[in-house]
Amino acid sequence: MKKIILILIAFSVLFGLSSVFIVDETEQIVILQLGKPVRNITKPGLNIKLPFPFQEKITFDNRLLEYDSPPEEILSKDKKTLIVDNYVRWKIVDPLQFLKTVQAIPTALSRMDDIVYSELRRELGTHDMVEIITDNREEIMEVITTASNIATKDYGIEVIDVRIRRVDLPNENEESIYARMDAERKRQANKFRSEGEEEAQKIRASTEKDKTIILADSYKQAERIRGEGDAIAVDVYAKSYSADTKFYEFVRTLDTYKKIIDDKTTLVLPSNSGLFKLLLEK
Phi and psi (nearest 5°) for 183? Answer: -65, -40
Mean pLDDT of residues grouped by 10 in the chain (282 residues)? 60 58 84 83 79 81 90 87 91 92 91 92 88 79 94 94 85 62 75 79 78 80 79 69 64 66 65 60 53
d(CA 151, CA 135): 27
Specify the 3-state DSSP secondary structure of 125: coil
d(CA 49, CA 30): 11
d(CA 203, CA 209): 10
In the chain, the amino acid numbered 101 is: T
pLDDT at position 215: 78
36-63 CB burial, b ≥16 within 10 A, e <16: ebeebbbeeeeeebeeeeebbbeebebe
pTM listed for this prediction: 0.54
d(CA 276, CA 217): 48
State the burial class of residue 159 (Cβ atoms within 10 Å of its Cβ: 0-12, 13-18, 19+): buried
By C-alpha distance, which of 67, 71, 70 is closest to 169?
Answer: 71
d(CA 97, CA 92): 9
In the chain, the amino acid numbered 10 is: A
pLDDT at position 269: 63
d(CA 170, CA 73): 9
Judge: domain 65-168, CATH 3.20.20.80: no
- Helix, strand and coil in the chain, % to nearest 5: 60, 20, 20
pLDDT at position 264: 66
- Residue spans of the domains in the chain: they are 2-61, 65-168, 244-282
Specify the 3-state DSSP secondary structure of 63: coil
pLDDT at position 178: 64
Angle between helices 245-260 and 274-281 (to 10 degrees): 120
pLDDT at position 159: 96
Specify the 3-state DSSP secondary structure of 270: coil
Stated as kind and residue range, the H or E segment containing 235 is helix 171-243
258-277 CB burial, b ≥16 within 10 A, e <16: eeeeeeeeeeeeeeeeebee
pLDDT at position 64: 92
Give the Cα-Cα-Cα angle 119, 121, 126 (nearest 5 degrees): 100
d(CA 67, CA 115): 13
d(CA 238, CA 241): 5
d(CA 128, CA 105): 35
pLDDT at position 157: 94
